Structure 1
Amino acid sequence: MNEHVSLSVPADEPPARQNERTNSRKVFIKTYGCQMNVYDSGRMTDALAGDGYVATEEMGEADLILLNTCHIREKASDKVYSALGRLRDMKKARAAEGKELMIGVTGCVAQAEGEEILRRAPAVDVVIGPQTYHRLPEALKRARAGNRVVDTEYAVEDKFEHLPVTEKAKIRARGVTAFLTVQEGCDKFCTFCVVPYTRGSEVSRPVQQILDEARRLVDAGVREITLLGQNVNAWRSEGEKGEWSLGDLLYRLAEIPGLARLRYTTSHPRDMDDKLIEAHRDLRALMPYLHLPVQSGSDRILKAMNRRHTAAEYLRLVERIRTVRPDIAMSGDFIVGFPGETDQDFEDTLRIVEDVHYAQAFSFKYSTRPGTPGADLSDQVPEDVKAERLERLQALLLKQQADFAKSCVGKVIDLLLEKPGRMPGQVIGRSPWLQSVNVDAKTSQIGDIVKVRIIGTGPNSLFAEPAESLIGP
């Protein structure tokens, strides 16, 4: 999703603090992939702050460059090695000037490749897996002493307990929306997916740890929190009266004063329990948008993928959710060309898309991921067939997305104002359905929730006009 994450210095920061930052070492983090990596990049910046590092948006001025990598898509590691080749040249140029540049690889490619990265990329100083990035400062100290470091063991300790509390000024600089990781890893072992091998088995953060972080975010001005997990609705933890599920957690989070909106992603259909569905019915703060991947509409392919649900079961689940929350917008993931997929299997996928009518969706050609069961299947679909099927699927999904956007025209909605727009007085906000909305809101401030009327659609956003006065600070 995001290509890189970095933090800006708050404009109201005291001059002494700004001077301290100017004299500090600087870190640039390039983030590949999912929202979980975006969250991790922010926490790595927090972990490095104690060693005097501050974030920069300019790679050329960084003393430390980290590539926070994703391993989901094909050729992910090739992109990393290509980037490392360019960084090698930058490191040589710095060395010729008598200056230090340290390079690190973190995230899922780091977990999958480990020592191979050090072998193929001599310029790399540290390789840190997603479960051990709280050890990054210590790894850098060891590397600076001349010992290149690979740390990809699954940490026994709770890494979140070892990470420093994010400063209020840093939270405020990141905006009025925030990610909060509550669960990591996956036990589903879909045959196309590397997550169980790079992120490990399902681990849930404790209730109190999550609540404490959420309160700190809200205290710093965050209005909307998105709970993250590779399989977020598998989250379980001990509450006051026994085991809590994600639904229980959402009910409790909704009680935090000042927290206006809640979201969560990514979900598995098998973990959508009654409590979570009831939360969609009962909680005004829980936004009417659900990312619920199905991957295929063919029962035969779903079985080969080890999804452990049928197309009919998925459709019944969507119907249950829409019954309790009729305005909910559905989002999904689709893979075309999984080994053995026939024309009829693909037609079944088109049919489930037509039945659900998605507001948004992500679709990809199947790519073999080394180490997954799918990579060993012999009945691979030719690339030209995969490309043709993907084109047809995406045309249908894009039409549905456009239809949903058009259906919003004329509606009066609550809009969370997130950042200034390009034009004077223009503000960009986020709709309840996760759409970007442009509006002239000269009398409102970032973080306000205002009533607007949708008046038009663009390729990737909506346009609105103020409908009423401010409804909530």
Structure 2
Amino acid sequence: MDLKFHVQTYGCQMNKHDSERVYGMLESMGAESVDSIEDADVVVFMTCCVREAADTRLFGQVASMKNLPVRTGSPLDQRLVAVGGCIGQRDGEKLFDDLPNLNVVFGTQNLSSLPALLMDAYGQGGKRAEVLEASSEFSSELPTDREHSWAAWLPITVGCDNFCTYCIVPHVRGRERSRSIEDIVKEAEGYVASGVREITLLGQNVNSYGRDLYGEPRFAEVLEAVAATGIERLRFATSHPKDLTDEVIALFGKLPCLMPYLHLPAQSGSNDVLKRMNRKYTVEHYRQLIDKVRAVRPDIALSTDIIVGFPGETAEDFEATFDLVSSVGYSQVFTFIYSKREGTPAAKWDDETPRSVIQERFDRLVEAVQKSAFDANQVDLGAEVEVLVEGTSKRDDSVLVGKSPKNQTVHAPIPEGICASDLIGNMVTVRVDEARTWYLRGTVTEVSEAVR
């Protein structure tokens, strides 16, 4: 059957990993992925509900498909539309009321049900929804079609036990569950054997890995065990400051494969705001963590998340956040204006701060973020960095694009006599000739033996 499918993914790395499993499952049915909705018989939206904009985007896109004609040559007499991920988990069958042209809804706990739900919905000419409150399955047990052959997401936990007052994730991803170290290592070994060069360990809070299985966090053991598989580059996301241990920090100085990059969400620089957020650490503790990490790995690149306009945020609270961002020297800061999420405690709290004031604070912070990122990149001006090539520039296919150990985007002209396809997924050394706010640009000085 000549079945075509298209997947659109919103949100975090875990959603991207789940989407790779959707690709794997549908391809195992004999379906073929296509790049556009118009060319697809089945369209799957893997959704995020952390911010309101994601809801708006999903509803607009699904509604716009209502009168889209069925693909010429399609084996189906209709286009099947499925919504999964966090919005699917949160809203369930209610989505059918809001989106009449929707056929299937599935949640974060039952990814494996998608093929059967699609077949049932089409065979019965109706709608199917299945949203489980909990599951014993890990999506890593399903077939996969990774976006890149040389890089892999490797979930070590799912769910979250922190219940920050602004966050919907524990309500749609469930309570934290850890995979066994043995399963994680086995998957990592398989990736290394297949030629994967970079693994990113995933979890809503990787630092608390193992607390549910072993009674205490054992994330440092996971890092050491995965490093022992021979992987060239190892990363992880995301870290919660309250659970970042000295043992994990020390590994930045001991494991050569552990890349010098740490995403450590602060969310606010005000202790009063952090307390209302239920973050369970202070700004002082957060700064101590930064000092410890830099003592072990002075060249480490740091990134963070910041929420502006959390209910009750005062001018003094914001200035404390501004000071944190200005003084730490982040290479990247993901800034967000607070978005009320129904079902969270903070959604019930009133805030009299005018939107114009919140926007002004946000704009000021963005300026500080840009300065911080620019200053951080100047450190590498004139240096040589090892780059894992991911592809070519969308603007110029004679320019390679890749990532440095510090997760910086790097551009460089492809050397004469070398094909771009031979570089992708391999390492090159680039001398940095130009350091901009969001990328480095330079000259390739050496290519790996695999390319020569």
Give TM-score, length-normalised by structure 2.
0.92
Mapping 1:78-157, distance limit 5 Å: 78-90=56-68, 99-146=77-124, 147-157=126-136
Rate the CA distance shift 1:328–1:97 in 2: closer, same or farther, 3 A: closer
Range moving further from structure 2, 43-52 or 97-106:
97-106
Do residues 338 (structure 1) and 310 (structure 2) align? Answer: yes
Rate the CA distance shift 1:351–1:123 in 2: closer, same or farther, 3 A: same
- Counterpart for residue 223 of structure 1: 197
| Cα distance between partner residues in 1 of 2:331 and 2:268 | 17
| Cα distance between partner residues in 2 of 1:150 and 1:267 | 33
| Cα distance between partner residues in 2 of 1:47 and 1:472 | 32
* SS of residue matched to 2:195: coil
How far residue 285 of structure 1 moved from its aligned partner, in angstroms, is 0.6
| Cα distance between partner residues in 2 of 1:127 and 1:183 | 24
Indicate which of 206, 209, 227 corresponds to 2:180: 206
1:211-251 deviation per Cα after TM superposition (whole angstroms, max 9, x unaligned): 23223323332211111111122221799x99762221111
How far residue 49 of structure 1 moved from its aligned partner, in angstroms, is 2.3
- Counterpart for residue 218 of structure 2: 245
Whether the 8 Å contact between 2:261 and 2:300 is mirrored in structure 1 is yes
- Counterpart for residue 328 of structure 1: 300
Whether the 8 Å contact between 1:185 and 1:199 is mirrored in structure 2 is yes
Do residues 439 (structure 1) and 412 (structure 2) align? Answer: yes
Do residues 314 (structure 1) and 286 (structure 2) align? Answer: yes
Indicate which of 156, 164, 169 corresponds to 1:190: 164
| Cα distance between partner residues in 2 of 1:304 and 1:400 | 27
* SS of residue matched to 1:179: strand
- Counterpart for residue 291 of structure 1: 263
How far residue 184 of structure 1 moved from its aligned partner, in angstroms, is 1.4
| Cα distance between partner residues in 2 of 1:465 and 1:97 | 50
- Counterpart for residue 361 of structure 2: 389
Do residues 261 (structure 1) and 233 (structure 2) align? Answer: yes
Rate the CA distance shift 1:95–1:191 in 2: closer, same or farther, 3 A: farther
Whether the 8 Å contact between 2:41 and 2:78 is mirrored in structure 1 is yes
Range moving further from structure 2, 62-71 or 373-382:
373-382
How far residue 458 of structure 1 moved from its aligned partner, in angstroms, is 3.9
Indicate which of 31, 34, 38 corresponds to 1:60: 38
| Cα distance between partner residues in 2 of 1:156 and 1:367 | 29
Whether the 8 Å contact between 1:132 and 1:159 is mirrored in structure 2 is no
Rate the CA distance shift 1:471–1:268 in 2: closer, same or farther, 3 A: farther
* SS of residue matched to 1:371: coil
Percent identity between the aligned chains? Answer: 37
- Counterpart for residue 300 of structure 1: 272
* SS of residue matched to 1:89: coil
Rate the CA distance shift 1:101–1:468 in 2: closer, same or farther, 3 A: closer
Do residues 281 (structure 1) and 259 (structure 2) align? Answer: no
- Read off the aligned partner of 2:15 and give its amino acid letter: N
Rate the CA distance shift 1:430–1:93 in 2: closer, same or farther, 3 A: closer
CA RMSD after TM alignment:
2.5
- Counterpart for residue 328 of structure 2: 356
1:287-340 deviation per Cα after TM superposition (whole angstroms, max 9, x unaligned): 111000011111111101111111001000111111111111110000111111
Give TM-score, length-normalised by structure 1.
0.88
| Cα distance between partner residues in 2 of 1:215 and 1:96 | 40
Count of aligned pairs between the two proteins: 444
Rate the CA distance shift 1:471–1:381 in 2: closer, same or farther, 3 A: farther
Mapping 1:441-456, distance limit 5 Å: 441-442=414-415, 443=418, 445-456=423-434
- Counterpart for residue 435 of structure 2: 457
- Counterpart for residue 181 of structure 1: 155
| Cα distance between partner residues in 1 of 2:345 and 2:106 | 26
Instruction: Show structure 2 runs of 5+ residues with no match.
Output: none
- Read off the aligned partner of 2:225 and give its amino acid letter: R
Range moving further from structure 2, 213-222 or 307-316:
213-222
Whether the 8 Å contact between 2:50 and 2:167 is mirrored in structure 1 is yes
Rate the CA distance shift 1:282–1:97 in 2: closer, same or farther, 3 A: closer
* SS of residue matched to 2:431: strand
- Counterpart for residue 382 of structure 2: 410
Rate the CA distance shift 1:75–1:410 in 2: closer, same or farther, 3 A: closer
| Cα distance between partner residues in 2 of 1:98 and 1:317 | 56
How far residue 38 of structure 1 moved from its aligned partner, in angstroms, is 1.0
Range moving further from structure 2, 323-332 or 218-227:
218-227
| Cα distance between partner residues in 1 of 2:308 and 2:41 | 42
1:154-201 deviation per Cα after TM superposition (whole angstroms, max 9, x unaligned): 34332437513x3xxx44x62422222221111111111110111111
| Cα distance between partner residues in 2 of 1:205 and 1:360 | 30
| Cα distance between partner residues in 2 of 1:379 and 1:129 | 32
| Cα distance between partner residues in 1 of 2:100 and 2:71 | 15
* SS of residue matched to 1:313: helix
1:345-383 deviation per Cα after TM superposition (whole angstroms, max 9, x unaligned): 111111111221111010111111111111111234321
Do residues 234 (structure 1) and 208 (structure 2) align? Answer: yes
How far residue 253 of structure 1 moved from its aligned partner, in angstroms, is 1.1
Indicate which of 224, 227, 242 corresponds to 1:270: 242
* SS of residue matched to 1:262: strand
- Counterpart for residue 14 of structure 1: none
* SS of residue matched to 1:429: strand
Whether the 8 Å contact between 2:134 and 2:174 is mirrored in structure 1 is no
Mapping 1:148-167, distance limit 5 Å: 148-160=127-139, 162-164=141-143, 166=144
| Cα distance between partner residues in 2 of 1:256 and 1:461 | 31
| Cα distance between partner residues in 1 of 2:448 and 2:283 | 43
Rate the CA distance shift 1:43–1:130 in 2: closer, same or farther, 3 A: same
Instruction: Show structure 1 runs of 5+ residues with no match.
Output: 1-22
Indicate which of 327, 344, 361 corresponds to 1:372: 344
| Cα distance between partner residues in 1 of 2:233 and 2:162 | 29
Whether the 8 Å contact between 2:429 and 2:445 is mirrored in structure 1 is yes
How far residue 393 of structure 1 moved from its aligned partner, in angstroms, is 0.6
Rate the CA distance shift 1:424–1:157 in 2: closer, same or farther, 3 A: closer
